[in-house]
Amino acid sequence: MNTIDQLVLDENNILFYPMMGNSYQLNNLGNEIVTSLKQHKTKDEIIEALALKYEVSKSELFIDVSDFLSKLKIYGLLS
Amino acid sequence: MSEVKYEKPTINKIEFAMASKYGSPMKTQNIRTEIDGVSVNKLTEKYGSPIFVFSQRQIEEKYNTLYSAFSSRYPDVTFGWSYKTNYLNEICKVFHNLGSIAEVVSEFEYQKARALGIEGKNIIFNGPYKPYEDLKIAVQEGAKIHVDNLFELNDLEKIADELDMKIPVAIRINMDTGTYPQWSRFGFNYESGDAYEAIKRMYDGGKLYLNGIHSHIGTFMLDANAYKLATTKIMQLKAQVETDFNSEIEYIDLGGGFASKSNLKGVYQSADVIVPTADDYAQAITDAIYANNKSEKLPKLYLETGRAMIDEAGYLLTSVHGYKRFPDGKKGYILDAGVNLLYTSTWYNFNIELDKHYEGENEPSMLNGPLCMNIDVIEEHLMLPALDRGSVLTISPVGAYNYTQAMQFIRYKPAVVMIDTKGEAHVIKDVDDLATVNYKEV
Ligand SMILES: Cc1ncc(COP(=O)(O)O)c(C=O)c1O
């Protein structure tokens, strides 16, 4: 199973990684992105969806989503 | 599109050790929206970013606090504005209007003071290197010459011959005041007897006479008692010289060195706790004068306080240009101001304040300047929320030494604004341009 599928997300934006016993604090948008990743959405699809919902350009979203994904990788939560 | 508020996505590992009763490092944000009522965002919009900002009100308050700490204890005290600390003309003028004379350490600082209308007699000329011609001008104009070494003493005797006059001079001495490092490079040592020997040599020559004794024991002195020791030694030397050479020494000068509220790297207590107050310093110095005065008249007292006068009245506004995620997980911000403008970042940790409150948690971050140099680090590790591009950070205290030592390196030196006592901002130095950089090149 992919790491992302093992992650447990609660209503307080806490993400739990049972195998390592680590917890992570997300904000709302972090929660939305992790939820989309768990639905196996691609980065492009996630950016498309966010661009429709928020008043932010795709170029800015690209930077922020890329950064968020890098941090997930650094934490070992995304391969 | 809907109106859902956008907040950059964040994720931070929960470290239980970080939650403490002192407040969470994940949440604490230091905010500054204005300086003396002027919005930091308006300042950068109007005058550009980065920009140095000085508060005239804060300079005046500091001067008044320091001055009254001494004048309430001692009848005759004068401050000399230490030009090297900040010699922007408008800054010097504020100090001169408050009653400071000038303290200079080079010919160009001397010329600057003269150009501002300061008479020679109101200029203290310090420093280990005083070119002969400039020294001669200073003597002719009646400046207070503080002799640093025997070569200078010889030069002064030659000048005395050329001008056919006897020159009053002061001597700079250094001594052990129990602090480390001991500043022994400047002037003549007290304990070894070198200071006395130099004075004797001066009287033997018959061309100079002593009218002042000066010391500057170091900078950022966290121990007020060091001044008590310095003053005691100066007063002892004064009494001895007055007896041995049947003379009267008009003044003593305790130099600068009072600490400002900067946070010295490697010191973990806050500056508010460890920095002595103006009253502490004043008490130490004036007590020692009264305790050791052997002459009928009390000497005039000069001080050359630099950093403590102005450091906290100076701010650097800088804007976020972008950010990167480093392989260790840290977020690295690229700012438009770097170590080229913050010479003192080697020794002090600055206060970094945000222009607004951000929702969301802090994460480990690093502040880098715009220079294409690996050393361009303003702050290696601090906790910040996800900052917007273009947001303005206020870095302080930076009023002392940063502007004068700022390098014209890679980027233009920025403009400087002063907020006057009515709360109005004025440019006191324009941003450099290609013409300033190329000036005098062939
Ligand atoms: C002779 C002399 N006077 C005054 C000062 C000002 O010192 P501070 O800024 O520590 O008060 C200095 C600084 O090094 C100095 O060398």
- The backbone torsions φ and ψ at residue B12, rounded to the nearest 5 degrees and listed phi first, read -140, 135
Residue A62 is assigned to a structural domain of this protein: yes
> Any idea what the Cα angle at residue B357 is, between residues A14 and B36, rounded to 5°?
160
Residue closest via CA to ligand 1's atom 5 equals B256
Interface test with A, best of B1, B2, B8 (most A CBs within 10 A): B8
Distance B256 CA to ligand 1 centre (A): 4
- Is residue B2 pLDDT above 60, yes or no? no
d(CA B122, CA B78): 10
Measured between CA atoms, how close is A41 to chain B, in angstroms? 16
Q: Would you call A29 and B7 a contact, using CB atoms and an 8 Å cutoff?
A: yes
* B331 touches B364 (CB < 8 A): yes
For B77-99, what is each residue's pLDDT tens digit?
999 999 999 999 999 999 999 99
What is the pLDDT, as a whole number, of residue B21? 47
For B305-320, what is each residue's pLDDT tens digit?
999 999 999 999 999 9
For B285-295, what is each residue's pLDDT tens digit?
999 999 999 99
* B394 touches B323 (CB < 8 A): no
Place domain B87-305 in its CATH homologous superfamily. Alanine racemase (3.20.20.10)
For B414-430, what is each residue's pLDDT tens digit?
999 999 999 999 999 99
Measured between CA atoms, how close is B9 to chain A, in angstroms? 4
Q: Would you call B9 and A64 a contact, using CB atoms and an 8 Å cutoff?
A: yes
The end-to-end CA distance of chain B, in Å, is 59
- HEC letters along A25-66: EECHHHHHHHHHHHCCCCHHHHHHHHHHHECCCHHHHHHHHH
* Number of domains chain A contains: 1
Q: What is the mean pLDDT of residues B198-214?
A: 97
Find the chain A residues whose C-beta atoms sit closer than 8 A to any C-beta of B: 14-15, 22-30, 32-34, 52-56, 64-65, 67-68, 70-72, 74-75
Determine contact: B7 vs chain A, CB below 8 A. Answer: yes
Q: CA B410 from chain center: how many Å? A: 25
- Is residue B9 pLDDT above 90, yes or no? yes
What 3-state class would DSSP assign to B28? coil
* B175 touches B188 (CB < 8 A): no
Q: Would you call B14 and A33 a contact, using CB atoms and an 8 Å cutoff?
A: no
- Is residue B3 pLDDT above 90, yes or no? no
Q: Would you call B359 and A27 a contact, using CB atoms and an 8 Å cutoff?
A: yes
* B8, B14, B329: residue with CB nearest A23: B14
Distance B303 CA to ligand 1 centre (A): 9
Residue A70 is assigned to a structural domain of this protein: yes
Pocket of ligand 1, beta carbon within 6 A: B 82, 85, 103, 126, 216, 219, 255-258, 304-308, 400
User: If you measure CA to CA, which chain B residue comes closest to A23?
Assistant: B14
What is the pLDDT, as a whole number, of residue B19? 53
Determine contact: B360 vs chain A, CB below 8 A. Answer: yes
Structural domain B26-54+312-438, CATH architecture: Beta Barrel (2.40)
β-bridge pairing B51-55 and B38-39: unpaired
Question: What DSSP character marks residue A18?
Answer: T
CATH 2.40.37.10 residue window(s) in chain B: 26-54+312-438
Structure tokens at B181: 């490092």
Measured between CA atoms, how close is A16 to chain B, in angstroms? 10
> Any idea what the Cα angle at residue A55 is, between residues A49 and A57, rounded to 5°?
75
Report how many Cβ contacts below 8 Å link chain A to chain B.
72
* A52, A55, A71: residue with CB nearest B6: A55
Helix ranges, B72-193 (H) = 89-98, 107-115, 132-140, 150-163
Q: What mean pLDDT value characterizes chain B?
A: 94
pLDDT tier at B360 (50, 70, 90 boundaries)?
Answer: confident
Residue A79 is assigned to a structural domain of this protein: no
Residue A39 is assigned to a structural domain of this protein: yes
CATH 3.20.20.10 residue window(s) in chain B: 87-305
Give the list of residues 6+ apart from residue B366 with CB closer than 8 angstroms, or none. B326, B330, B331, B332, B333, B377, B379, B380, B381, B382
d(CA B311, CA B54): 9
Q: What is the mean pLDDT of residues B30-46?
A: 98
d(CA B177, CA B227): 8
pLDDT tier at B15 (50, 70, 90 boundaries)?
Answer: confident
Measured between CA atoms, how close is B5 to chain A, in angstroms? 7
Q: What is the DSSP string of B363-417?
A: EEEEEE-SSSSTT-EEEEEEEE--PPTT-EEEEES--SSHHHH----SSPPPEEE
| Domain containing residue A44 | 3-74
Least confident of A14-23, A41-50, B116-125, B146-155: A14-23
